[in-house]
């Protein structure tokens, strides 16, 4: 199969009998360090966040048109609002790429990934959709095909994308990621806990990415310096993880936040939540993901301190918090 060619299969190769239901699944992600800079080729470190995930079910629709069911919108596929153009595109590209029949289908999305919080919800729903459609038609889907389809949809959702959200929606290991380079999966085994706090404010990745680009055009040397600093912190952060130096990693998270702030993508409420984490004893804290709202993360030495920090972040306005044990890479609530 020629992977450069987006048409991967023909109708003839489909199994005679499709199963009655196609299933697709994907999860959320947390960017530990390097968001935004990753769009400009700087490496970033991200973790899978399986506590927040999405499931898609595809089945035949007994009416004449396709139907889309989700918490955000339920109605005919033709009526899907413009905000869902990325998902429309995912469906279209998947059907076209595999030369699948255009028959009425029922798409049902269930997700507990908070939307617009920089947790990669759009990429996760897209990944789960492609998987469910290809599962329904029993066509083989390679990682490359999945990435090509979802990244095109992510460009609609975020305008510019490094591809990190698409990758992490189906990655089960932490990854050091650099645009256009093969991702480097690795293990995190730290005697530390990561607190994830949802500010409850809808983040706006598309606007945030545009804001950084505009700043780059207006003040290129300032932004280049910030990107260089972030690159250094990410590389040192990767070393700190390898050397199990949690104090150093915490400091680097905070430095990274300082430069994200310089890039203008933090938010007063988010900063308030991050400050609360610092005062409550975090080794470091920063925003994560797109910014302008969304989520913050903080690093703690013990589970007790992590709980104190999570409580302080809630007190400061966070709507929801999760605690990840970095020794085992598991989530606890
Ligand atoms: C969004 O989760 C991460 C950003 O760096 C955008 C991207 O990498 O595509 C802000």
pLDDT digits (tens, 9 = 90+) for 214-225: 999 999 999 999
Q: What is the pLDDT of residues 73-101, one digit of tens each?
A: 999 999 999 999 999 999 999 999 999 99
- Give the DSSP letter of residue 184: E
- Picking from 272, 274, 269, 236, the residue whose alpha carbon sits closest to that of residue 252 is 236
178 lines ligand 1 (CB under 6 A): no
Average pLDDT score over residue span 179-204:
94
CB neighbour list of residue 328: distance below 8 Å, 6 or more residues apart: none
pLDDT at position 2 over 90: no
Mean pLDDT of 105-127: 93
Ligand 1 pocket member 284 (CB < 6 A)? no
pLDDT value of position 14: 52
Q: Identify the CA nearest to 182 among candidates 143, 235, 155.
A: 143
Q: Supply the pLDDT for residue 18.
A: 59
Tell me the CA–centroid distance for residue 306 and ligand 1, in Å.
26
Atom of ligand 1 nearest to the CA of 290: 10
* Closest-CA residue to 273 (of 187, 198, 163, 182): 198
**What's the whole-number mean pLDDT along residues 15-44?**
90
Find the 157 Cα to ligand 1 centroid distance in Å.
11
- The separation between the first and the last C-alpha atoms of the chain, rounded to the nearest angstrom, is 44
* pLDDT at position 4 over 60: no
Question: Percent of the chain scored above 70 by pLDDT?
Answer: 92
The pLDDT, as a whole number, for residue 7 is: 45
Q: How far apart are CA 127 and CA 106, in angstroms?
A: 17
Would the CB of 43 count as within 6 Å of ligand 1?
no
Residue with the nearest Cα to atom 8 of ligand 1?
A: 162
- In the prediction, which pLDDT does 28 show? 94
Give the model confidence (pLDDT) of 118-175 as tens digits: 888 999 999 999 999 999 999 999 999 999 999 988 888 777 789 999 999 989 999 9
Lowest mean pLDDT among 112-116, 237-241, 262-266, 268-272: 112-116
What is the mean pLDDT of the segment spanning 221-242? 98
Tell me how far the alpha carbon of residue 16 lies from the centroid of ligand 1, in angstroms.
41
Mean pLDDT value across residues 281-297? 96
Q: Is 231 in the pocket of ligand 1 (CB under 6 A)?
A: no
Best of 162, 216, 263 to mutate for ligand 1, by most ligand atoms within 8 A of CB?
A: 162
Residues known to be catalytic: 165
Tokens found for residue 290? 């797109």
Tell me, in angstroms, the distance from the centre of ligand 1 to residue 252's CA.
19
Ligand 1 binding pocket includes 164 (Cβ within 6 Å): yes
Whether the Cβ atoms of residue 300 and residue 276 lie closer than 8 Å to each other: no
Residue 290 near ligand 1, beta carbon < 6 Å: yes
Q: Is the CB of 176 under 6 A from ligand 1?
A: no
d(CA 282, CA 284): 5
pTM (two decimals) = 0.88
Poorest-pLDDT segment among 13-27, 80-94, 290-304: 13-27
pLDDT of res. 40: 97
- Per-residue confidence (pLDDT) for residue 158, from 0 to 100: 72
For residue 183, pLDDT over 90 is answered with: yes
């Amino acid at each position: 199969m020629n992977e450069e060619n987006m048409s991967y299969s023909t109708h003839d190769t489909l199994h005679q009998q499709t199963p009655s239901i196609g299933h697709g699944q994907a999860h959320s992600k947390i960017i530990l360090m390097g968001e935004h800079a990753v769009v400009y080729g700087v490496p970033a470190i991200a973790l899978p966040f399986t506590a927040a995930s999405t499931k898609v079910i595809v089945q035949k629709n007994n009416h004449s048109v396709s139907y889309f069911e989700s918490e955000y919108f339920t109605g005919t596929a033709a009526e899907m609002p413009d905000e869902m153009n990325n998902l429309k595109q995912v469906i279209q590209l998947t059907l076209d790429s595999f030369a699948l029949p255009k028959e009425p289908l029922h798409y049902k999305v269930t997700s507990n990934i908070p939307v617009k919080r920089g947790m990669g919800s759009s990429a996760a729903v897209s990944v789960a959709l492609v998987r469910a459609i290809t599962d329904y038609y029993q066509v083989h889907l390679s990682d490359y095909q999945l990435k090509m389809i979802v990244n095109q949809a992510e460009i609609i959702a975020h305008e510019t994308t490094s591809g990190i959200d698409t990758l992490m929606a189906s990655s089960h290991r932490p990854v050091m990621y650099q645009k256009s380079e093969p991702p480097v999966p690795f293990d995190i085994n730290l005697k530390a806990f990561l607190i994830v706090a949802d500010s409850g404010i809808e983040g706006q990745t598309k606007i945030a990415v545009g804001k950084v680009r505009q700043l780059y055009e207006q003040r290129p040397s300032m932004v280049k310096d910030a990107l260089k600093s972030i690159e250094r912190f990410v590389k040192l952060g990767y070393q700190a993880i390898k050397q199990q130096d949690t104090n150093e990693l915490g400091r680097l998270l905070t430095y990274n936040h300082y430069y994200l702030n310089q890039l203008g993508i933090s938010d007063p409420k988010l900063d308030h939540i991050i400050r609360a984490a610092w005062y409550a004893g975090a080794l470091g804290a920063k925003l994560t993901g797109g910014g302008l709202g969304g989520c913050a993360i903080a690093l703690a030495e013990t589970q007790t301190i992590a709980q104190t920090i999570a409580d302080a972040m809630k007190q400061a306005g966070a709507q929801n918090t999760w605690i990840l044990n970095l020794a085992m890479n598991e989530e606890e609530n």
